[in-house]
Amino acid sequence: MKIITRQVAINNLKKYIGKDLRSLALKYKITTYETGKQNKGWKGLILERLAGLENNISKAPNGLSWELKSVSFHNKKEILTPKETMAITMINPEELKQHSFFESHCWAKLKSIIFCAVMWHGQNAEKAELIKVVSLDFLETDELIKEIKADYDFIRNKLKTKGFKSLTGKDGKWIQARTKGAGHGSTSRAFYARTSLVKKIFETAK
């Protein structure tokens, strides 16, 4: 199995800028909403394949690898703006208690990331154009990272003092601990990047 470096993945993805991702999803046999049910994750899955990741990378936070993330954008006034927050990684309460920010999966994923901006065409997204691919390397000394670390520490401290259940999406300036689960009462939590952070990342990367 060949190793796809970040640069290779970016080059692969850039070839698809401006293309309609849904027709590509069909080609790669990825369910979108064909069955009458919406697969909310299909955009991310197709992007992973386009990048060259034919092998599974779904779980396991293999810190050795880079992360591929996609974000929906929509036009607000004349400005292209992130429509939603972006899931970064699941929160494991035990690991969160033991690991500092720079030891966390959250940081490991954030620091070498590839962002894909995807145009959002309304509910039940019938199409989705890839509009931009950027990569970014964070430095531990970046001002932004310091602030993100402060958010992480805040959330971590709250976990210690008030418990996992007390965590809420209201916490954090740049990142947040949102609920994310299978639904029906089963809830776990994950780190999310707020839209303002997503926006800043795109501004920084260009």
Point out which residues bind DNA (CB under 7 A): 31, 35, 37-41, 43-45, 47, 56, 58-61, 67-72, 76, 84-87, 89-90, 118, 120, 123-125, 168-170, 176, 178-188, 190, 194-196
Q: Which is nearer to DNA, 125 or 159 (CB)?
A: 125
Backbone angles phi, psi at 171, to 5 degrees: -75, 145
The answer to whether residues 79 and 181 touch, using CB atoms and an 8 Å cutoff, is no
Question: Smallest distance, Å, CB 185 to DNA?
Answer: 6
Question: Smallest distance, Å, CB 194 to DNA?
Answer: 6
Q: Which is nearer to DNA, 31 or 138 (CB)?
A: 31
Question: Smallest distance, Å, CB 148 to DNA?
Answer: 15
Amino acid sitting at position 8: V
Q: Which is nearer to DNA, 145 or 155 (CB)?
A: 155
Q: Rounding to the nearest 10 degrees, give the CA dihedral for residues 69, 75, 80, 86.
A: -30
Report the alpha-carbon distance of residue 82 to residue 206 in Å, rounded. Answer: 15
Report the alpha-carbon distance of residue 206 to residue 14 in Å, rounded. Answer: 14
CA-based nearest residue to 201, from 171, 175, 168: 175
Backbone angles phi, psi at 72, to 5 degrees: -80, 135
Q: Which is nearer to DNA, 36 or 141 (CB)?
A: 36
Report the alpha-carbon distance of residue 28 to residue 170 in Å, rounded. Answer: 38
Question: Smallest distance, Å, CB 198 to DNA?
Answer: 10
CA-based nearest residue to 85, from 172, 199, 195, 203: 195
Q: Which is nearer to DNA, 53 or 144 (CB)?
A: 53
Question: Smallest distance, Å, CB 196 to DNA?
Answer: 7
